[in-house]
């Protein structure tokens, strides 16, 4: 599709207010290991290493020498109750897209519960061995240094973190003028559809948004999310002490639905209450896609300066996450101290592809909005690291060690832990006004490998995307993976010669498979994951995969397929989803996720996810709107469905004097 330009990539004010505020700040920073204010002295390190080594030795003794140790391990390590239900918090997500990360999921995905006990035991033994070997390596490296060298390294790292934080704060006190295209010229002003039936359906979706917002305001105002059954606030550990996720996530949806009063009260809350000066450890990925993305989108739509100011302020606070030897950011960051770490469950503390690979769009816009290239430098360095790595079979594994800059275990997924990385490669190309040729090449090389090694057809002709684990396929597809249908279709126009129709067709096949995963449940809403093995097709077979948490990925693909083909079945399927949400998820206090989509009686998880307002309802509304509302040639959706305009080289640069 032709993509028109809107905005220049960078604005470089002549007056120098920000021009060198951080001295360029590009590239990767040196590592900060042991640099926090609580860094240990040498003797304390030795004591800790001795205790840890003794613990590991004890574990190995229990495993290999105690009688019935396998039963002991299975009882201790893998004990679970079938009555337990999945937590309702959002994605490791990957979108997991890698999002319930606090529970061991990355936005938009969840690692499998143990299946075969023998295989699970072997996996856990392998992890124990890996941790033991890593501890020994670190001890050896420490022993090779003199005490004064260790102390000097600690002091230098402390000083570097302090200087970086001071320079960050000083460098962004004054923001440059930027060009804002009139929203009525780029499709941000809505108009009623001509068809009365379509208009009625769209009005129903707006009423759903009003119901969700009204109850959030009544029972959970200022909290991150709503508990619609118990009628209270819900806060995920993903956001630390930062509050108001639903408010920020819903801003652009309120705007495009012309809910002016609600938008203004949300803006007032942001001005008066949104506070990032908290001692909190947050998910860099989740805070970026929801808060940074939501604020940037609200700024471009409304022009209200408070949204730009808050977005840049938060972006600055996320910069210390990149202070690793490789420049690959930590997953978790204390935004007060600047100390980062990774999820301990993520392959020996690795960074996750869908998390560090889903910063690019927002950080490019932060550089434009702040006038400082440091944000763009950080995410472009991620590209450099990835391009220098050898890809197994051309695939990108989900785990990468930020210290060594090397892949960890070879697990590849287009769903949780991997998904939005591929989405952002394509959208980086489109958002750049099709000038980012590196992103285009990386995207098409990646999906070529995915087609070869992961995409398969079931016995009855359903196309699905499996997961690749060390060369072996697991024939499972997650709800998160269903975004890929829209992605394939969105990139079809720019595909290699002769492949445009192929990728449109592939998108349609993925959409059909995901619709089948909905249609084969009792409630007509899809499970978290579904399988294609043992005679089963597009059905969840494990209890911990049967839940639905108001996810948007299926209707996201319907939206793109409708816009690009105008096949009426996508509106039909979208309306089926609306009816299912109203019948099974709507309660007096809002909308709740379901614990089991195959049960005839609803069992609610009691969480109205913020992305339900940001994504699910927005995509449904757009399906029943005319194409000139947020046209795809002008707007890019981030992975939380927040709106980012295409950046263009063709518009006149804005000078520091505001001319």
Residue 265 designated active-site: no
At 334 the three-state DSSP class reads: strand
Catalytic residue among 157, 553, 556, 596: 553
Cα angle, residue 442 at apex, residues 105 and 510 outer, rounded to 5°: 60
Cα angle, residue 541 at apex, residues 537 and 547 outer, rounded to 5°: 105
What is the Cα–Cα distance from 248 to 307, expressed in whole angstroms? 10
What is the Cα–Cα distance from 336 to 470, expressed in whole angstroms? 39
Token pair 């195959």 in the structure block, residue: 598
Catalytic residue among 89, 355, 419, 605: 419
Backbone angles phi, psi at 150, to 5 degrees: -65, -45
Judged on CB neighbours under 10 Å (0-12, 13-18, 19+), 185 is exposed
Catalytic residue among 99, 528, 556, 615: 528
Q: What secondary structure, in 3-state letters, does 414-482 show?
A: CCCCCHHHHHHHHHHHHHCCCCCHHHHHHHHHHHHHHHHHCEEECCCCCEEECEEECCEEECEEEHHHH
Instruction: Single out the residue of 603, 484, 513, 591 nearest to residue 210, CA to CA.
Output: 591
Instruction: Single out the residue of 216, 245, 241, 244 nearest to residue 231, CA to CA.
Output: 216
Residue 528 designated active-site: yes
Q: According to the annotation, is 639 in a ligand binding site?
A: yes
Both tokens of 49, joined, read 């290493």
At 367 the three-state DSSP class reads: helix
User: CA distances (Å), 128 to each of 142, 216, 306, in order?
Assistant: 21, 44, 49
Cα angle, residue 233 at apex, residues 227 and 238 outer, rounded to 5°: 95
Strand partners, 364: none
Residue 556 designated active-site: no
Residue 419 designated active-site: yes
What is the Cα–Cα distance from 492 to 1, expressed in whole angstroms? 8
Catalytic residue among 286, 355, 516, 545: 286
Which residues have a catalytic role annotated? Answer: 286, 419, 528, 553
Residues annotated in the binding site for Ca(2+), as ranges? 639
Residues annotated in the binding site, as ranges? 639
């Amino acid at each position: 599709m032709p993509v028109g330009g809107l905005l220049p990539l960078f604005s470089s004010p002549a007056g120098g207010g920000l021009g060198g505020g951080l001295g360029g700040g590009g590239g990767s920073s040196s590592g900060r290991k042991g640099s926090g204010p609580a860094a240990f002295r040498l003797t304390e390190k030795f004591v800790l290493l001795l205790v840890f080594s003794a613990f590991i030795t004890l574990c190995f003794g229990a495993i290999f020498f105690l009688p019935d140790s396998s039963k002991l391990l299975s009882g201790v390590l893998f004990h679970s109750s079938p009555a337990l239900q999945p937590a309702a918090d959002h994605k490791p997500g990957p979108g997991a897209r890698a999002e319930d990360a606090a529970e061991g999921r990355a936005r938009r995905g969840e690692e499998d519960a143990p299946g075969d006990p023998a295989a699970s035991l072997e996996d856990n033994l392998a992890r124990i061995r890996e941790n033991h070997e890593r501890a020994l390596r670190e001890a050896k490296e420490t022993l090779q240094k003199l005490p004064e060298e260790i102390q000097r390294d600690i002091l230098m790292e402390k000083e570097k973190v302090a200087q970086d934080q001071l320079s960050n704060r000083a460098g962004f006190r004054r923001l440059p003028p930027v060009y804002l295209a009139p929203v009525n010229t780029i499709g941000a002003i809505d108009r009623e559809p001509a068809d009365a039936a379509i208009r009625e359906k769209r009005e129903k979706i707006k009423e759903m948004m009003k119901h969700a917002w009204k109850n959030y305001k009544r029972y959970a105002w200022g909290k991150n999310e709503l508990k619609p059954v118990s009628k209270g606030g819900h806060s995920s550990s993903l956001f630390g002490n930062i509050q108001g996720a639903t408010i920020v996530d819903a801003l652009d949806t309120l705007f495009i639905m012309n809910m002016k009063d609600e938008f203004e009260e949300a803006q007032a809350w942001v001005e008066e209450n949104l506070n990032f000066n908290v001692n909190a450890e947050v998910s860099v990925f989740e805070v970026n896609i929801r808060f940074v993305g939501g604020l940037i989108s609200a700024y471009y739509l409304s022009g209200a300066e408070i949204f730009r100011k808050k977005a840049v302020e938060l972006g600055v606070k996320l910069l210390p996450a990149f202070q690793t030897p490789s420049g690959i950011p930590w997953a978790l960051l204390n935004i007060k101290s600047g100390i980062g770490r990774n999820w301990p469950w993520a392959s020996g503390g690795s960074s996750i592809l869908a998390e560090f690979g889903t910063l690019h769009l927002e950080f490019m816009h932060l550089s434009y909005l702040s006038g400082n290239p440091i944000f763009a430098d950080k995410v472009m360095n991620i590209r450099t690291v990835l391009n220098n790595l050898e890809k197994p079979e051309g695939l990108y594994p989900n785990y990468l060690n930020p210290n060594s800059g090397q892949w960890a275990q070879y697990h590849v997924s287009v769903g949780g832990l991997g998904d939005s990385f591929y989405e952002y490669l394509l959208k980086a190309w489109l958002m750049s006004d099709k000038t980012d040729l590196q992103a285009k090449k990386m995207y098409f090389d990646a999906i070529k490998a995915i087609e070869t090694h992961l995409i398969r057809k079931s016995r009855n002709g359903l196309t699905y995307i499996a997961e690749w684990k060390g060369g072996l396929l697991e024939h499972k597809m997650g709800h998160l993976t269903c975004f890929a249908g829209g992605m394939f279709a969105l990139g079809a126009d720019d595909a290699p010669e002769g492949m445009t129709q192929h990728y449109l067709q592939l998108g349609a096949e993925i959409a059909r498979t995901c619709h089948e995963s909905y249609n084969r449940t009792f409630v007509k809403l899809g499970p978290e994951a579904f399988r294609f093995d043992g005679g089963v097709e597009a059905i969840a077979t494990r209890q911990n995969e049967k839940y639905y948490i108001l996810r948007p990925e299926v209707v996201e693909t319907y939206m793109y397929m409708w816009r690009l083909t105008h096949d009426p079945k996508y509106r039909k399927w979208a309306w089926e989803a609306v009816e299912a949400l109203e019948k099974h998820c709507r309660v007096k206090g809002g909308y709740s996720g379901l614990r089991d989509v195959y049960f005839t009686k609803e069992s609610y998880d009691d969480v109205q996810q913020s992305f339900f307002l940001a994504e699910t309802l927005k995509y449904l509304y757009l399906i029943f709107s005319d194409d000139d509302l947020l046209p795809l040639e002008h707007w890019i959706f981030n992975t939380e469905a927040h709106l980012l305009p295409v950046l263009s080289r063709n518009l006149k640069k804005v000078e520091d004097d505001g001319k």
